Structure 1
Amino acid sequence: MPHNPAIKPLLQHPDRVDADATAQSDGNARIILGICVAMGFTTLLDQTIFALAVPRLRDGLHASASQLQLIISTYSVAFGVALVPAGRLGDIIGRRSLFLIGLAMFAGFSVLGGLAWSAQTVIAARLLQGLGAGIINTQVLGLIQDLFQGIGRAKALGRYASAGGMSGAVGPLLGGLVLALTPPDIGWRLLFLANVPFGAVIFFLALRHLPRSRSQPQKFSLDTGGLVLLSLITLSLMFATLVGSTGSLSARAYLLAAVAGVPLFVCWEVYYQRRGGTPILARGLVRSPGYVLGTTVAMFQFAAGLTLGIVSALFFLDGLRIGPLLFGALSVSSALGMLASSTRSWRFVSRFGRPGVAFVIAVYAALLVLEGLAILLLPVPGILYVYPVIGLLQGVASGLIHAPNQVMTLAEAGEGEGRGLAAGFLQLSQRLACSIGMSLGAGIFLVRLTSGASLEAYRSAFVAALGLVLALTGGALLAALADMFRRRFATRLT
């Protein structure tokens, strides 16, 4: 039988086929990881820019304190609510279509935010943006878990986490420059619209390079009841934190509703699983102490970081009355620190594991105390000099906490529960905790201030809100220590 000369060399060297296939596969994985990092950069750029826009947006739309709290926190609620169903759908029907749908929502509703005519419109835009970002984020984490294993997965998650550092470096400077060069009521609108060109480029790349995956022959199970109950609990806690009027119910009534909803949620989850469904609190995840404790670390630490960011923006822009460009420049050091450490965090986690993460959380807590003392005691020039130095160290610490904790937490999740489901619940927990933390932190800060408040009042308000951030960090530390001792005990038993 004659041989095709085009394939004869490959027949003589079959190992070349494997090498070429491997190289092609590695190349595709790198392209897909680049798209994931770019998408993470875009959604996180939105958050870093948005913090700068809040005071101008409030003044331009005459938003009340409670509306401002909702504008700040609604995004994270919607983000979290989208994660579990999007993760489950991604496990079953594939990640490409959901990635593209989420990206279209995120970019499209950025336009609505940029054209908003009232505070209520901005709240709606942030809600829908958050849904889109949540759909995207779960697919990104699922793609990374599908394509990489072991140290390769840790490296990939570290690079994805570095997107936070990159966006943190670019966002404040870009946002500050736009706000400095445009009229007050135009600048914050342009910051919303900045998502659109980034989103369009990534949409084209994703459409071309993300793999098409066949639908899996699995029974689709979506825990709608559990998702609704968990969302209502979160919203009740959020409404309990709002400054001023919250409608017909008092803050205490909202708090009691949230507390009463917890056992109802747990009972529903047990019932739903007994019926054969896949609950949000999947049995395999709940029974994994490493996954539960790692998720607790992520919840508290993520909420602490974002709450600190929004309160810092309000303090510097409103209290110290510095320009947005100067505040952006002061904030860059934190992002650079996180970028530098997160790209090498895979080495950190492989060498130090959970004890290393617990130690870095303790260092982060000490830096918060140092920051509070600086804000309370130093004159304004001293604060401006010290803030970027402390921010740099906080950024380095954050980069050594988030990605390593995520790697260890997802490693504790059983494959039978679905990678997308495990990643989705981890992100859901983070985002819901973040929404409550940011709303409560902003409320603690704003309730202590009146029109024309003095610098001393702003100092006091910042330190009060910092107390919440420190408490959240303490919760993360306790969970990390519990997981560390659990691992040591398990090692001794074996």
Structure 2
Amino acid sequence: MTQAEFNNHHARPVLAICVAMGFTTLLDQTIFGLALPRLRDSLQASADELQLIVSVYSIAFGIALVPAGRLGDLIGRRLLFLIGLAMFSGFSLVGGLADSAQVAIVARLLQGVGAGIINTQVLGLIQDLFRADAQARALGRYASAGGLAGLAGPVLGGLILALTPADVGWRLMFLVNVPFGIVIFYLALRHLPRSSSSGARFSVDGVGLLLLSAATLFAMLATLQNADALLSARTCLVAAIAGAVLFVLWERRYQRRGGAPILGAGLSGSPGYVLGTLVAMFQFAGGTTFGMVTTLFFLDALKTGPLLYALLSIAPAVGMMVSSARSWRFAARFGRMGVVAAIAAYMAALVLFGAGVLLLPVAGILLLYPLPGLLLGAFGGLIHAPNQAMTLTELPAGEGRGTAAGFFQLSQRLASSVGMSWGIGLFLGAAKANGGLPAWRHAFGEALLLILALLGCALAAALGDGIRRRRTGAVRVGALGNATGLD
């Protein structure tokens, strides 16, 4: 069967598998935040261990992306998808049976590796099968799985935590991935295409990946609150900066010697790809940090309980699901400047909620949250898929789609791991300085300033790309034509 015949007859079931896998991994993330307070209490995890449990998933996810993307370009995506799914599901089981915070950290780390392997194959499959506005629609449907997971996850997680003993409920937050993984594994065996090897030699810039990972890890370790830590925060920060400088120097040397660096010359020389990746980095870091800090604020400071918080979380999930499903139309009509407007509106909704947290009584905060939550979900849905589609259409000739998608996701995840670690560390550090709700409000305000700074960087990058596109006459996603119909 030719590639064209495969595209015509099998694009829909493969997209369905990709969307289902997106739903499963995102369900894990939406549920896991609810489990944090009970996991912490059950395993007697320190604030540092809690930060690691949250952050190592994103670091591992990111580290896996580039080699998995490059290997998928060379040998095909089916085998790697199945390996990643087996890891994600298997270590979900390990996490559910953990008897210490250290085991939970390791399980979460290896879960992240599996999710990273899966994710880059999913994005590669979508890019292989769809082009132009059909690709934007496919990415919109994939993104809408996030909205659906955001809708189902908190409700499911809240019900589980409300109906089970404290030491059991958080374990089920891990274990819920296993049945989903088994079903998707069976479907993937049946429907994902078998691909022969391209014959090209597989190579990964291992030194570059190690330096980038070390810089990210040291930046994250600089946020930990343990006074007895072997390295001080200042030492970790200096090491992170040094690692970043060494990474840049190594990449230049590696490329001059004929190697294939993590960020290829073609990608780094594409302004649209670079600026779009920066938008994704800062927006994803700000959004995930806000989600984790908000969850801890509601559960620990306001004592809402998991079920009530789950019900409050329906509004942002509905906003995300509805807007993501039609985000390709938004991208086709407004292009990059539409993303600029969506980021600005997202920041305005954050300021609205932040003002409510600082000024309103507890009942007022609970009544207010669904409105800015709905707006945040809706504006977020108009950012993610359009930005991803516009960024990945900027690939120069000769650049592998899996590699480009892998670096795009790598940058998102590493930025997210640092952002969440800094945000949670800032939040928990400020909250424990004094007691009572005023301290929690102050802590939330400090974390919100960091989040707004991250989003401000995303806004600047999007605006820069929008100005560049107007000057160069770059076409919008919807004007590029349609290689594979997806109505």
> What is the TM-score when the length of structure 2 is the normalising length?
0.95
Match in the other structure for 2:288: 306
* 1:338 partner amino acid: M
For the pair 1:395 / 2:363, whether they are aligned, the reply is: no
CA distance in 1, matches of 2:450, 2:6: 49
- Maintained 8 Å contact 1:449/1:461: yes
Match in the other structure for 1:12: none
CA distance in 2, matches of 1:252, 1:425: 29
Q: Which of 332, 340, 346 is residue 322 of structure 2 equivalent to? A: 340
- Offset at residue 274 of structure 1 (A): 2.0
Q: Which of 213, 228, 252 is residue 195 of structure 2 equivalent to? A: 213
- Offset at residue 323 of structure 1 (A): 1.1
CA distance in 2, matches of 1:26, 1:367: 42
Deviation string 1:97-121 (CA, Å, 9 cap, x unpaired) is 0000000000000011001011111
Query: 3-state DSSP class of the match of 1:267?
Result: helix
Give runs of aligned pairs for residues 216-295 of structure 1, distance below 5 A.
Answer: 216-245=198-227, 247-295=229-277
Q: Which of 126, 145, 152 is residue 127 of structure 2 equivalent to? A: 145
Structure 1 ranges of 4+ moved more than 3 A:
21-27
Match in the other structure for 1:438: 420
Query: 3-state DSSP class of the match of 1:346?
Result: helix
Give the direction of change, closer, same or farther, for the CA distance of 1:402–1:235 in structure 2 (3 Å limit).
Answer: same
Deviation string 1:4-40 (CA, Å, 9 cap, x unpaired) is xxxxxxxxxxxxxx9xx98874341000000000000
Match in the other structure for 2:458: 476
Give runs of aligned pairs for residues 84-483 of structure 1, distance below 5 A.
Answer: 84-245=66-227, 247-450=229-432, 453-483=435-465
> What is the TM-score when the length of structure 1 is the normalising length?
0.94
Q: Which of 27, 50, 61 is residue 79 of structure 1 equivalent to? A: 61
The share of aligned pairs that are identical, in percent, is 66
* 1:347 partner amino acid: R
* 1:76 partner amino acid: S
Give the direction of change, closer, same or farther, for the CA distance of 1:444–1:452 in structure 2 (3 Å limit).
Answer: closer
For the pair 1:43 / 2:43, whether they are aligned, the reply is: no
* 2:72 partner amino acid: G
- Offset at residue 293 of structure 1 (A): 0.5
Query: 3-state DSSP class of the match of 1:70?
Result: helix
Give the direction of change, closer, same or farther, for the CA distance of 1:484–1:451 in structure 2 (3 Å limit).
Answer: closer
* 1:54 partner amino acid: L
- Maintained 8 Å contact 1:66/1:245: no
Gaps of at least 5 residues in structure 1 are 1-17
Deviation string 1:381-410 (CA, Å, 9 cap, x unpaired) is 111111011100110000000000001111
- Maintained 8 Å contact 1:239/1:246: no
Query: 3-state DSSP class of the match of 2:431?
Result: coil
Deviation string 1:260-281 (CA, Å, 9 cap, x unpaired) is 1122111111121222221102
- Offset at residue 248 of structure 1 (A): 1.6
Give the direction of change, closer, same or farther, for the CA distance of 1:285–1:23 in structure 2 (3 Å limit).
Answer: closer
CA distance in 2, matches of 1:348, 1:254: 42
CA distance in 1, matches of 2:5, 2:398: 30
RMSD: 1.6
Give the direction of change, closer, same or farther, for the CA distance of 1:355–1:25 in structure 2 (3 Å limit).
Answer: closer
Q: Flag the structure with larger Rg.
A: 1
Match in the other structure for 1:489: 471
Query: 3-state DSSP class of the match of 2:99?
Result: coil
* 2:441 partner amino acid: R
Give the direction of change, closer, same or farther, for the CA distance of 1:246–1:486 in structure 2 (3 Å limit).
Answer: farther
CA distance in 2, matches of 1:42, 1:450: 35
Query: 3-state DSSP class of the match of 2:369?
Result: helix
For the pair 1:34 / 2:16, whether they are aligned, the reply is: yes
- Maintained 8 Å contact 2:431/2:442: no
